[in-house]
Amino acid sequence: MVDLPSDYTHIHQFARDLIAFMHEPRSVQITGGIHVNDAFIYDAWSKLPSEWTAWWESLSNPQDAQKDLINSLRKEPEARQHDLQGRPDSLSQWLNCIRNLSLDREQFVLPEGIPHVEVPEILASRMVTKKLAEVKAGARYINHVCKTNNITRVVDIGSGQGYLSLTLAAACNLKVLAIDGSAKQIAGSKAAAEQAGLTEGDQITHLTRFVTGTDELATEVSTWAEGEKCLLTGLHACGSLSEHMIRLSTTTPCISHIAVVGCCYNHITPFSASNPTGFPISTFMRSHNLNLSTSALITGCQAPTNWIHNPNSIFGRKHFYRAVLEKLLFDKNLVADGARPVWGIRNGDLRSFHTYTSRALSSLNLIIGKDISEQEVTGYEKAYAGRSAETAILWTLSVLLCRVVESVIVLDRVFYLEEQGMEEVGVLPVFEYRESPRNLMVVGKKGAEL
C-alpha cells in the first residue's frame, strides 16, 4: 500500500501527474536542461518566469529567497506561517504542486506491541548514530515480517560492513546470506561476525558478488536457502542495485518477500536498446515514456530541508564561480569538445575568483598569464559581479524537485513488483527523514501462485 498525497486516491493518476510534471519544460530546464554550471552561457535566469525573477531580485537578502524555497517543501501546516510575504501566486502554485506530488516522508512507526531489536553492544559500538538508528528500525521491521510469515532466512544484498546482516543473525535468530560486491566490505563484515561470535556458514554466510541481475545469483541464493523461504533486503542499495534486487525477488522462487531501501540514484543506468534492464523498469513508466536526465536523478539524492543554515557562509559562491568560469571557457573557446575542468575543490579555492580559476585551469593544463590574460579573468569577475544570487537560486530550484524525483523512482519500483504479480506492494518511510533522508523502503510479498 502506498500512502498517496492527500490530493490523490488513485496511484496511477498520481503517477501520471508526476510524469507530466517532470516532463514540463520548466522542470526539465531546472533539473539539468540547463545545468547551473552553464547558467551564464545559456542565460538560464531569463528563461524563468519574469515575475519570479523580478521578485527574487527585489529582496534585500537573496538568502531569504533560498530559505523560502526550501521551507516551501515542508508539509507541516505551521511551515506555511514562515512563507515569505509577497511571493508571486504563480510561484506559490508551483511550490504547492511540488509538495502535493511528493510522497510523505514522515517515519512509519510500528505499533509498540511489535518487539524492538536489541543490537548487541559489540555490533552497536561499530556504528555511527545514524547507522544504528537505521539498523534498529530496519531490523525491527524485517524481523516482524519474518516472524509473522514463518521466514527463517534473510538475503542482505549490498550488505557492506554487515551492520544489518549481523544484527539479524545475532539478535533475531535468522540465518543470513550477506552479499556485497566489495571484497573489502565482506572482509570487514566477516571480522565483525567473528567478534560477535557468529558461525560462518551457519548463522551468517558471506558472499562476494557484484550483482548485475544475472541468473547465476538466483541459483546461488536458492542453493543456500535449502528449500526454505527467504526475505530479500538491502539498506541503501545504490543506484541500479535496488532494481536488480527487485527483479531477483520476482524470479527466485525461494524469495517470498522483499524490503529494499535505495540510494545514490545518480548511479541508476537508463533504459536503452543496449541496456534493456535500465530505468525505468516498469511497463507503466516505460509506456508513459518517463525520461529523467542524469542531473534529475542526482536531484533525487538531495535533502535541502536537512541543510544547516549558516548565515556566515559564502552564500552560493561555489556555483557562482563555476558558472562564471564555464562562461569564460565557452566564450574564449579554451577547451576542445566541451571538456570540463575536474579537480578536487578545496575551501581555499573559493577565496577569490582568481584562485578558483587558476586551480580549475591547471586541471586543464592551462595557465593564467599564458593561455588567458589576468585582465580577462578580472573582466569576467567584474562583468558577473552581483549575480551570485542567480546561480544560488537556480541551484536551489534544481534540488527542490528532490522528493518528486524520488517519488517517481520509487513508484517505478512499486509498479514493476505489481506488474510481476507481487502482493501488498508498498512504500514505508522506515527511517527518520531528518536523520536518513533516503528513507523509503519498497516492500512486497509473493502471492500463493507465484
Ligand X SMILES: C[S@@+](CC[C@H](N)C(=O)[O-])C[C@H]1O[C@@H](n2cnc3c(N)ncnc32)[C@H](O)[C@@H]1O
Interface with ligand X (CB under 6 A): 158-161, 163-164, 180-182, 185, 210-211, 235-236, 238, 241, 263
User: Which runs of E-coded beta strand occur in 3-90?
Assistant: none
> Is the CB of 25 or the CB of 276 nearer to ligand X?
276
Alpha-carbon distance values, 250 to 34, 146, 218 (Å): 38, 18, 10
CA 47 from chain center: how many Å?
27
- The Cβ of residue 50 has, within 10 Å, a number of other Cβ atoms equal to 11
Q: Are strands 422-429 and 255-263 parallel, antiparallel or unpaired?
A: unpaired
CB of 245 to ligand X, least distance (A): 9
Strand 153-157, strand 422-429: pairing: unpaired
As measured in angstroms, the least distance from the Cβ of 129 to ligand X is: 13
Residue nearest to ligand X (CB): 160
Sequence length of the chain is 450
Q: Cβ closer to ligand X: 59 or 238? A: 238
CB of 440 to ligand X, least distance (A): 14
Q: Among residues 241 and 410, whose Cβ is nearest to ligand X?
A: 241
Minimum CB distance to ligand X smaller for 211 or for 389: 211
65 vs 193 by CB, closer to ligand X: 193
Least distance in angstroms from the C-beta of 238 to ligand X: 5
Between 185 and 396, name the residue whose CB sits nearer to ligand X. Answer: 185
Listed residue (177, 182, 178, 242) closest to 213, CA to CA: 242
Query: Least distance (Å) from ligand X to the CB of residue 207?
Result: 10
* CA–CA dist 282, 274 (Å, integer): 17
C-beta closer to ligand X: residue 164 or 303:
164
Q: Pseudo-torsion of CA 252, 253, 256, 257, nearest 10°?
A: 10
Q: Within a 10 A sphere around the Cβ of 421, how many other Cβ atoms?
A: 13
Q: Which of 14, 8, 35 is nearest to 294 (CA)?
A: 35
Shortest Å distance, C-beta 110 to ligand X: 19
- Shortest distance, CB of residue 419 to ligand X, whole angstroms? 23
Contact 165, 142 (CB under 8 A): no
Grid cell locating 354: 582568481
Q: Which is nearer to ligand X, 88 or 278 (CB)?
A: 278
267 burial type by CB count under 10 A (0-12 exposed, 13-18 middle, 19+ buried): middle
Residue 379 and residue 386: Cα distance in Å, rounded? Answer: 14
Strands (DSSP E) along 202-254, which ranges?
204-208, 230-238
The nearer residue to ligand X, 165 or 396, going by C-beta atoms, is 165
Compute the least distance from the CB of residue 204 to ligand X, in Å: 14
Nearest approach, Cβ of 160 to ligand X (angstroms)?
Answer: 3
- What residues contact residue 375 under an 8 Å CB cut-off, 6+ apart? none
- Which has the closest alpha carbon to 231: 185, 175, 281, 180? 175
Least distance from ligand X to the Cβ atom of residue 237, Å: 6
44 versus 157: smaller Cβ distance to ligand X? 157
User: What residue type is assigned to position 203 of the chain?
Assistant: Q
Q: Which long-range contacts (CB under 8 A, 24 or more apart) does 368-377 make?
A: 371/334, 372/328, 372/332, 372/334, 376/328, 376/332, 377/328, 377/353
For ligand X, the closer CB: 137 or 404? 137
Closest distance of CB 439 from ligand X, Å: 12
In sign, the C-alpha dihedral spanning 427, 430, 431, 434 is positive
